[in-house]
Structure 1
Amino acid sequence: MSIHVERSIRIDRSPQELYQFWRNFENLPRFMNHLESVKVLDEQRSHWITKAPLGNHIEWDAEITQDQENELICWRSLPGSNVPNEGCVSFRSSEYEAGTEVKVTMDYSPFGGMAGAVIATFLGEAPDGQLYEDLWRLKQEIEGGNTAL
């Protein structure tokens, strides 16, 4: 079973600034509440630790599959992951408004399969809602000047 999640938000910064901030994956736990840490292993690989329902933790390694500077970053988990996942984040200037549209598209197989997905949703950890909240926190942090880009 795979879950598809897609969300976007407009942030009042340039695609270059947002790409650089996101490309340093160690920044992601600053606004993604479910992430405990991301450790960059090399230019292509990183190690992720995330919070799971009922106080558990899940770890996996991921690799970048596509990297277009200032435009797009795509990734996938490496074989053997407890939570197989893949996705992309894109950074596009708006034709009609100032700022950049940040769009995240992700597919993943939840830990524990369908039962794990149901439990997570019941506990208020639905992936669509989490992603929306994560992007909103990113917008607040970046636009609020709480972070150096």
Structure 2
Amino acid sequence: MSTKVEKTVVVDVPLSTVYNQWTQFEDFPHFMNGVKSVTQLGDDRLEWVAELGGVRRQWEAKIVEQVPDSRVSWAATEGATNAGTVMFHDAGNGRTEVHLVLEYEPEGLVEKIGDKLNVVENQAEGDLERFKKFIEAEGYATGAWRGSVNEGAPVGTPGVEHAAASRGDDGKAGVSGKAVAAGVAAAGVAAAGVAAAAA
């Protein structure tokens, strides 16, 4: 079962500058908590390494559509099952609206517990806020890629069905004993809370 997250932030920086910074994928660890590295393997391929709540995940993603100053859409091709779109809109007065749509499939006990506790949703909101602070503090993009990928193709917003090749994960998730203990403890706290509410 998949989970869909939608978050929006308005950035006090012009559209092209915001879009240009977003295309600097290898800079994502500067403002995305838990992202250890993003490696650009080509114009339309990225390798991600992230750790959230003690769970280390690695995956490859394909950019299925990229339109300058408009959108970047992706779908995982292996590893953690996820897909989505980031859309950019001119909000007037030199401001830009950044809208994220993310769909993912949690795997394993720890991720499923984290999903119930809205860990990814809270992380996405925090990452957008950190991106806002990052680009507003800089005032300019650290680089830019103005190329297109499948511009004009009827892609829409990809969902996990577009990331079907990544299902199963093939052991790319590493879970520490500490994370399992934290997940079990969180589940115990949640269960105790439900029991207390029922009583």
Q: Distance in 2 between matches of 1:116 and 1:39?
A: 24
Quote the residue 1:138 is aligned against: 131
Structure-2-length-normalised TM-score: 0.66
Q: Distance in 1 between matches of 2:131 and 2:114?
A: 26
Quote the residue 1:24 is aligned against: 24
Q: 2:132 is aligned with what amino acid?
A: K
**Quick one: which of 97, 101, 110 aligns to 1:101?**
97
Which of the two has higher C-alpha Rg?
2
Matches within 5 A, 1:1-149: 1-53=1-53, 55-78=54-77, 80-81=78-79, 83-95=80-92, 97-112=93-108, 116-119=111-114, 126-145=119-138, 148-149=141-142
Deviation (angstroms), 1:119: 3.9
SS at match of 2:58: strand
Deviation (angstroms), 1:56: 3.2
Q: 2:25 is aligned with what amino acid?
A: F
Q: Distance in 1 between matches of 2:140 and 2:94?
A: 20
Deviation (angstroms), 1:147: 6.6
SS at match of 2:29: helix
Unaligned segments of structure 2, at least 5 residues: 143-199
Q: Distance in 2 between matches of 1:144 and 1:52?
A: 26
SS at match of 1:94: strand
- The percentage of aligned residue pairs carrying the same residue is 29
Aligned residues: 142
Q: Deviations over 1:31-88 (max 9, x none)?
A: 11021100000001010001032x331101000001111110000000x42x210000
Unaligned segments of structure 1, at least 5 residues: none
Q: Distance in 2 between matches of 1:68 and 1:116?
A: 32
Question: RMSD of aligned C-alpha atoms?
Answer: 2.0
